[in-house]
Structure 1
Amino acid sequence: MNGFPWAVFGEGVGAAAGAALTVMLITFGIAVAKGLHRIVDVAWGVAFTAVALVSYVLSAGEGDDVRRVLVTVLTAVWGLRLAVHIAARGSGHGEDPRYASMLARAPGSPEVYALRMVYLLQGALVLLISLPVQAAQYIRGPVGPVAYAGGALWLVGFFFESVGDRQLARFKADPANKGRIMDRGLWSWTRHPNYFGDFCVWWGLFLIVCDAPAVAAATVISPLVMSFLLINGSGKRLLERHMANRPGFAEYAARTSGFFPLPPR
């Protein structure tokens, strides 16, 4: 494995930060104009895609082309699918209760508070979590078995996330299911197939840099942060707190794995 160009990579991180910030500021402007901050969730996937594309362009001539294409395509496919899904899910709905509650308690200007605590914070998280995607673009050695294993893990994650989202959307579209708990398909194996899918996607992208151990050590914080957010942060923990008092949820939780897929009990 040839030496890693840390200085050039550092410059690329600065450009990636600019890309993430640009996406978030544009989204903020649109959200203020519409009076609807839930669109920041659409920008999450778009920002990761922008970072991957900027990193790909700036790393030309630096990293292995196969790895550069692989990590860019995987990130863009994940990010754009997620953005389209969230946009479709939120179409025709008002403000997300999470953001409405947050802004109702905002000290001072709600818009300034939203910019600081939602948009800039999410932009910073995009930059941090995408470090393996950025670093992979600058690794000069050829793609090895661990990186291909990362691609396979990404496929597992993308399957769980996309299929789980589609199953839930179909379930909610049926009026007969109003007030019921989704416990079919992948949702009978894990209470959060979409979050588990995200978990696999980001650990898979991390494995693509593991051909370079020093780079892997420098960027492992990224999948760890994403895992924390999915399991203990704004993902599983927050959603289950919201669902706890819904009829049938306790029984569903008793027979269904909380995160990693397992046969129903």
Structure 2
Amino acid sequence: MLLFWGVRLTLNWIIGWEGMHHQDWRYTMLHDNNPALWPLINFFGINMMPTLVVFAALLPAYYCAQSAGKLSALTIVGAAVCIIAAVLQIVSDGQMRRFRRDPANKGRHITNGLWKYSRHPNYLGEVSFWWGIYIMMLGQRPDMWWLIFGPVLMPLLFVFISIPMMEKRLLTTRPGYADYKKATSMLLLLPPRRATESA
């Protein structure tokens, strides 16, 4: 499962790579808004914190691998969650790539496919994957239930840091995003609360 996750993430990065000159807009924004604090933000906020969150989410995988034995119902359920989560990520990423490649969509936001039901279906897939790993571990090592802090930290990182930062920018760069935000669930795949402009 983890190998598949790593390969998918790496391929996604390769496909979207824009060259050595490219820098994520979030890094530029954080640097420009806080030049004096940039070294601390860079080390702790950009490098250390996400690394620790992923490490915490990986702990259940370690204990699951160390305790590999007879398959249990929970292990199978967890594996199914991981597979569904990976498919969700692949499909949503593919839809976004196709949308961005169309010159007619420049300056617009995607509102079709999975993005009609969730503003961030790719993040939903990422969060769900780590919950799947945790559920798999429970099937092998139920005594390690307290490692739940790992999969809990992952959605918190997205909901309270990554998504608000991204959507603050989208509200200023994408006309109609405010209406889309009001109508569409942040993470969960839910029916739109009202009709939105089709992409």
TM-score range, shorter-chain basis?
0.7 to 0.9
2:9 to 78, 82, 105: 82
Measured in 2, the distance between the counterparts of 1:162 and 1:207 equals 21
Structure 1 length normalisation: TM-score? 0.65
1:195 to 114, 123, 136: 123
1:228 to 146, 151, 156: 156
8 Å CA contact 2:54, 2:154 repeated in 1: no
Q: Secondary structure at 2:161's aligned position in 1?
A: coil
Read off the aligned partner of 2:30 and give its amino acid letter: M
Measured in 1, the distance between the counterparts of 2:45 and 2:183 equals 37
Measured in 1, the distance between the counterparts of 2:67 and 2:55 equals 18
Measured in 2, the distance between the counterparts of 1:257 and 1:121 equals 26
2:170 to 211, 232, 243: 243
1:214 to 133, 143, 146: 143
Aligned match of 1:55: none
* Cα 1:141/1:216, change in 2 over 3 Å: farther
* Structure 2 residues not aligned, in runs of 5+: 194-199
Instruction: Name which structure has the greater RCO, CA cutoff 8 Å, separation 6+.
Output: 2
8 Å CA contact 2:53, 2:150 repeated in 1: no
Read off the aligned partner of 1:82 and give its amino acid letter: L
Aligned match of 2:99: 171
8 Å CA contact 1:107, 1:113 repeated in 2: no
1:125 to 53, 69, 87: 53
Identity level (%): 30
2:30 to 93, 102, 106: 102
Q: CA deviation at 1:243?
A: 1.4
Aligned match of 2:111: 183
User: How many residue pairs align between the two structures?
Assistant: 189
Q: Secondary structure at 2:118's aligned position in 1?
A: coil
Residue deviations 1:93-115 (CA, integer Å, cap 9, x gap): 621121123334344885x8634
Residue deviations 1:224-249 (CA, integer Å, cap 9, x gap): 00111122222x22222221232111
